[in-house]
């Protein structure tokens, strides 16, 4: 049922461009190489310690900024994963992600960040990040996220969870777009223009795949928007959200 599927989106589009795919990390014979790129030494040391519990044969490389990370990737073509901070001096994580995705499309790059802005998460996922891992995650959650990424999936935090460690903060970019002014009854939900577009298409009965085609975005991104809409409207499923939107005056 949609109400169960839309409230969790840990599994986005499976990545088929990775150079390996496995489930049992402990059975790998080759040494797994992971690069940590973060400008805070203490965090790198803590993550280094956590990653030692990932498998028996893990080699950890470290970089303090994006430029160093790109250079290390060039020197180590057998890297299995890059964990990159979003905010770093020089080449930041966002531009570093773009460069690495262009130059090394088979190498998964995940963002590990303190940012709790939904717009940051959507931005990096749309640019090809293999995951978005909050620094507020526990060690157990961090390892589970990394295992999911190494298994060829895209990881995003479950924003529908009630743990309180990751909250959606709606961001408005460029103001209200023409034709997207919400009806008065819908303003109380504080949806972004993009979310109102998605909600409008939901009200027309379109599936996530059809919405993705209509708006020119990945289906996984649509799932993220739908989950954010349900949370903002306090709706238990998309059917309830559609009913609430129509009651609020949204005409389609």
Q: What per-residue confidence (pLDDT) applies to 181? A: 53
| Cβ 78 vs Cβ 110: under 8 Å | no
pLDDT at 183 > cutoff 50: yes
Q: What per-residue confidence (pLDDT) applies to 55? A: 85
118-155 confidence digits (pLDDT tens): 778 878 888 888 889 988 888 999 999 999 899 888 88
Q: What per-residue confidence (pLDDT) applies to 177? A: 37
Alpha carbons 172 and 70: distance in angstroms, whole number? 32
Enter the pTM of the model: 0.58
Q: Who wins on pLDDT, 50 or 136?
A: 50
Positive or negative, the CA dihedral 74, 75, 78, 79 is: negative
| Cβ 99 vs Cβ 81: under 8 Å | no
| Cβ 6 vs Cβ 230: under 8 Å | yes
| Strands lying side by side in the sheet with 32-37 | 58-63, 32-37, 81-84, 109-113, 131-134
Confidence of residue 182 (pLDDT cuts 50, 70, 90): low
Positive or negative, the CA dihedral 188, 194, 197, 201 is: negative
Q: What percent of the chain has pLDDT over 90?
A: 26
Residue range 181-187: mean pLDDT, rounded = 67
Residue-range domains of the chain with CATH: 2-150 (3.40.50.2300), 184-247 (1.10.10.10)
Cβ contacts of residue 183 below 8 Å, gap of 6+? 248, 249, 250, 251
Q: What per-residue confidence (pLDDT) applies to 147? A: 92
Confidence of residue 171 (pLDDT cuts 50, 70, 90): very low
Q: Who wins on pLDDT, 200 or 158?
A: 200
Q: What per-residue confidence (pLDDT) applies to 70? A: 94
pLDDT at 207 > cutoff 90: no
3-state helix, strand, coil in the chain (%, to 5): 45, 10, 45
The mean pLDDT of the chain is 77
56-109 confidence digits (pLDDT tens): 889 999 999 999 999 999 999 999 999 999 888 888 888 899 999 889 988 999
Nearest 5 degrees, angle CA 100-CA 59-CA 68? 35
């Amino acid at each position: 049922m949609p109400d169960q599927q839309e409230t969790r989106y840990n599994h986005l589009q499976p990545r088929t461009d990775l150079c390996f795919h496995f489930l049992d990390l402990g059975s790998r014979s080759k040494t797994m190489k992971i690069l940590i790129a973060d400008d805070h030494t203490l965090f790198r040391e803590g993550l280094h310690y956590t990653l030692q519990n990932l498998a028996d044969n893990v080699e950890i490389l470290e970089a303090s900024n994006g430029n160093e990370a790109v250079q290390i990737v060039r020197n180590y073509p057998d890297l299995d994963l890059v964990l990159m901070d979003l905010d770093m001096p020089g080449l930041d994580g966002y531009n570093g992600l773009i460069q690495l995705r262009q130059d090394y499309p088979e190498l998964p790059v995940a963002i590990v960040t303190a940012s709790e802005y939904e717009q940051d998460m959507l931005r990096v996922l749309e640019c090809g990040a293999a995951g978005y891992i909050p620094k507020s995650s526990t060690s157990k959650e961090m390892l589970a996220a990394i295992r999911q990424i190494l298994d060829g999936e895209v990881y995003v935090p479950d924003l529908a969870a009630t743990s309180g460690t990751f909250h959606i903060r709606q961001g408005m970019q460029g103001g209200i777009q023409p034709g997207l002014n919400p009806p008065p009854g819908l303003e109380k939900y504080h949806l972004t223009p993009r979310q109102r577009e998605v909600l409008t298409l939901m009200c027309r009965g379109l599936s996530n795949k059809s919405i993705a085609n209509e708006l020119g975005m990945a289906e996984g991104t649509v799932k993220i928007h739908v989950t954010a809409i349900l949370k903002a409207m306090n709706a238990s499923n998309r059917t309830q959200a559609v009913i609430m939107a129509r009651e609020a005056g949204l005409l389609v």
